[in-house]
Amino acid sequence: MMKRYAAGLAVLLIAFLGAGCAPQFTPPPTGVPVTVIVTVVLTPTPVPTTPAPLVAEATTTQAPASPTATAQPPTSTAVPPSATPAPSAVPVSMTPSPVPPSPTACPSTISVGGDFGLAYTTAKLQQGLGCPTTGERSLKTSYEPFEHGFMFWREDTTQVYAFYGVDNTWQEFTDTYVDGQPEYSCPNASTPSTAPPTPKRGLGKVWCTQPDVRSRLGKALSDEIGNTRSLQDFQNGSMLLIPDYVRIPLVLYKSSGHWQLVK
């Protein structure tokens, strides 16, 4: 009977262990020796296998349909600007510029005098003076030197000239002096200065009554000197020879109001 009991207990224990639960043991009645045989069945632990990597299947995502454009009201069509025609090339004339013509030859009836002929030709004065309108003449004249120029009087026209040395300009005045008038026209005429001398008669009247002439010429360096001197008139000026001043011709131009010395 003990054998059957032990066998049944073993079966029960194996069944219990197979189910995974702890065995419940009911102790036998006291005083009864029990022999328990336990059979342990070792089950190997399964080796986990590495799962195969998941391969994502490529799926084609359909892009959403683009929205339908809303029709806009028609706008005025801009007219493209017309192309501006390129300027046509102006043909360049290869004709050389004409050379200015030489001054017209002066009439042979009036020649340039001996005192002025050489200077008139070599200095090419015809372009500035033009042709002579009178022949060379010896005229009664007066000359007076000043600090900054000189004064000159000619009998044939009774004109008085003021020549300024600072800028080589000149001015012309009508001689209004008449014989019988006081020789000195300045305010101090009753006691004229002699050092420096006070200009008198026609030259003095211009110098005393024209403040601009007086300031530009300065004081007189000597009394006026009367003498016969060579002079010739031209279309645009005159040529003078005043040996008391310089022994080369002097040219005055009417158009520019300048004077110069020429050789």
Reported pTM: 0.60
How far does CA 83 lie from the centroid of its chain?
33
Residue 194, helix vs strand vs coil: strand
Tell me the Cα Rg of the chain.
70
How far does CA 58 lie from the centroid of its chain?
73
How are strands ordered across the β-sheet holding 250-253? 169-174, 159-164, 149-154, 137-146, 225-234, 237-241, 250-253, 259-261
Geometric angle at alpha carbon 223, from 113 and 217, rounded to 5°: 80
pLDDT at 56: 41
Residue-by-residue DSSP string for 119-180: HHHHTTTHHHH-SBSS--EEEEEEEEEETTEEEEEETTTTEEEEEETTTTEEEEEE----BT
Gap between the Cα atoms of 138 and 248, Å rounded: 16
Geometric angle at alpha carbon 39, from 36 and 40, rounded to 5°: 130
Say which amino acid occupies 224: E
Provide the residue count of the chain.
263
Place of tokens 């022994």: 247
Q: Other CB atoms closer than 10 Å to residue 118's CB: what's the count?
A: 13
Handedness of CA 255, 148, 250, 179 (dihedral sign): positive
Give pLDDT tens digits along the chain (263 positions).
555 555 555 555 555 455 444 445 455 555 545 454 544 445 555 555 544 444 444 444 454 444 444 445 445 555 455 554 444 444 444 445 444 455 567 876 899 988 899 999 988 899 999 999 999 999 999 999 999 999 999 999 999 999 999 999 999 999 999 999 989 888 776 667 888 899 999 999 999 999 999 999 999 999 999 999 999 999 999 999 999 999 999 999 999 999 999 98
